[in-house]
Structure formats: structure tokens, C-alpha cells
Amino acid sequence: MGYLKEGIDDIKVSQAAAKRAINVSPLSKYFQNTAATQGLVLGYAACDAEQTRDGVERLAAAILETLV
């Protein structure tokens, strides 16, 4: 689980991440109404250190994309 700062839309981040071949689920999709907090459900157990590092860099770029 990765929590996002207030004002960052987890759905927009997950869509931007998908463009970079990163599969994350927005935490808000697990809430019936408005989510209390924005975040991403992450899965990285099958990745080695290099793949994890690369994925984090691409996810960071996706987050930055949603801020502009």
C-alpha cells in the first residue's frame, strides 16, 4: 500500500502508471463512497531489486504527470 498526499488523485495516478506498464489499483475503488485517503495498492513480490527500482522510477514519473 502506498498512500498519496492530499490532492493527488489515485485514479489519475493509476491511469498514468498504466501508460508506463505499471499495474497499480487505486485505493478509492475499494470504498463504496468517498475514500478517506488516496492511495495505491502495490504488488512487487515477484520483482527483483532492479525491477523494483525501475518500477518505482516509472511510478514516480506517473505521479509527477498528474501534478501538472
Domain ranges within the chain, ordered by starting residue: 2-67
- 20 neighbors 58 (Cβ within 8 angstroms): yes
* Per-residue confidence (pLDDT) for residue 54, from 0 to 100: 96
Distances (CA, A) of 58 to 21, 30, 43, 66: 9, 24, 14, 13
Instruction: Spell out where 1-68 has E strands.
Output: 2-3, 25-26, 39-41
Phi, psi of 42 (to 5 degrees): -110, 145
Closest CA to 11 of 43, 41, 32, 56: 41
How does pLDDT run across 10-50, given as a tens digit for each residue? 999 999 999 999 999 999 998 888 767 899 999 988 899 99
